[in-house]
């Protein structure tokens, strides 16, 4: 998600100083971090880079960070992004019965066709930013918007199996957007017990790993995150811990000082939320090693499970 747009100020995403939550995360997931080191030592199935299978995307011209994906990159034959997102029978009886989770798949596959609409400025409390952006892509054209929808649909299946009611901000059923303020409003109006926005980053080559973005303390205009700070931090720390353990991925080596946690005050989706909410950048699409993971359907299933287990832990309060 590293591109100029509604949810990024590039100058604010690099090398944050560790905060008190570093200790909390260290206490939460020491076993997971050890597990990652073992994973790196022995190698993941499919090769030393941890790619379970070859890229599922079709070949395409390299796209610069933040460029609009091509139409081919969003409708490639054999793309399995929609497989987990078929009609569901609704939440099952389970431990999360009565809980509502709002899942926000970042961007939209067709945003690049609606530049006027997505460039419209919206109020995020601290300032005004573009409604939405196109997102990034891998060098061979696998779009972030395709990735986020695929992981979101897999996540929905897992949460519904636990009995949760899952609502999306968009499910590939809108021509563009929605805007970042509407994405927050959907979670608020659903009175979500937890909300998560799913992304993949567009950082320089060599920058690897995931990070979870927590809301900063913001009280300006329509934004007031103070009531959700504690719960959102708890949610984010749990997701970071389970994501490490399930996927074998390391916390980002370029933000968060190795904690996998970053606090931001420039994201409309967090600033305007009145329910516990975090973002997750699952990896860097511009790095070939991370891209090999992100384009693997097997790894995306692990990513969804890592996120799901963190949400379940949060909602269980244990």
Kindly give the parts of the chain with pLDDT less than 70: 1-91, 318
What percent of the chain is predicted at pLDDT more than 70?
71
287-318 tens-digit pLDDT: 999 999 999 999 999 999 999 999 999 999 86
pLDDT tens digits for range 31-43: 444 444 433 443 4
Residue 251, beta-bridge partner list: 210
Q: What is the pTM of this model?
A: 0.77
Closest CA to 156 of 71, 262, 81, 236: 81
What pLDDT is attached to residue 84? 39
Nearest in space to 179 (alpha carbons), one of 117, 246, 252: 117
Element (H, E) at 282: strand 277-284
- Residue 317: the pLDDT is 83
pLDDT for res 91: 65
Cβ pair 96, 162 in contact under 8 A = yes
Instruction: Give the separation between CA 241 and CA 237, rounded to whole angstroms.
Output: 6
Between CA 233 and CA 239 the distance in angstroms is: 10
The structural domains of the chain, with segments of one domain joined by +, span 10-45+90-316
Q: Quick one: how far is CA 146 from the chain centroid?
A: 12
Q: Does domain 10-45+90-316 bear CATH number 3.40.630.40?
A: yes
Cis geometry, peptide bond prior to residue 28 (ω within 30 degrees of 0): no
Q: pLDDT of 76-106, one tens digit each?
A: 333 444 443 333 455 678 899 999 999 999 9
Which tens digits make up the pLDDT trace of 112-123? 999 999 999 999
Is residue 161 among the annotated active site residues?
no
- Of the candidates 144, 182, 265, 281, the residue annotated as catalytic is 281
């Amino acid at each position: 998600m590293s591109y100029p747009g509604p949810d990024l100020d590039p100058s604010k995403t690099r090398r944050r100083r560790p905060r008190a939550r570093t200790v909390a995360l260290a206490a939460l997931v020491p076993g997971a971090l050890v597990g990652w080191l073992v994973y790196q030592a022995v190698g993941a199935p499919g090769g030393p880079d941890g790619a379970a299978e070859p890229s599922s995307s079709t070949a395409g011209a390299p796209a610069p960070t933040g460029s609009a994906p091509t139409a081919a990159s969003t409708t490639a034959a054999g793309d399995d992004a929609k497989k987990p997102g078929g009609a569901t029978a609704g939440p099952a009886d389970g431990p999360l019965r009565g809980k509502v989770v709002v899942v926000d798949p970042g961007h939209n596959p067709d945003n690049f066709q609606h530049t006027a609409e997505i460039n419209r400025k919206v109020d995020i409390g601290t300032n005004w930013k573009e409604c939405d952006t196109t997102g990034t892509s891998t060098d061979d054209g696998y779009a972030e918007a395709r990735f986020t929808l695929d992981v979101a649909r897999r996540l929905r299946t897992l949460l519904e199996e636990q009995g949760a009611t899952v609502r999306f901000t968009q499910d590939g059923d809108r021509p563009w957007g929605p805007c970042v303020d509407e994405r927050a409003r959907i979670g608020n109006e659903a009175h979500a017990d937890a909300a998560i926005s799913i992304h993949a980053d567009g950082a320089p080559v060599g920058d690897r790993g995931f990070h979870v973005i927590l809301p900063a303390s913001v009280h300006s205009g329509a934004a007031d995150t103070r009531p959700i700070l504690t719960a959102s931090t708890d949610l984010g720390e749990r997701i970071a811990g389970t994501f490490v353990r399930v996927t074998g991925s390391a916390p980002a080596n370029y933000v968060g000082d190795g904690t996998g946690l970053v606090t931001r005050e420039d994201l409309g989706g967090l600033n305007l939320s009145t329910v516990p909410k975090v973002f997750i950048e699952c990896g860097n699409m511009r790095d070939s090693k991370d891209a090999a993971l992100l384009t693997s359907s097997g790894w995306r299933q692990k990513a969804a499970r890592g996120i799901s287990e963190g949400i379940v832990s949060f909602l269980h309060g244990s």
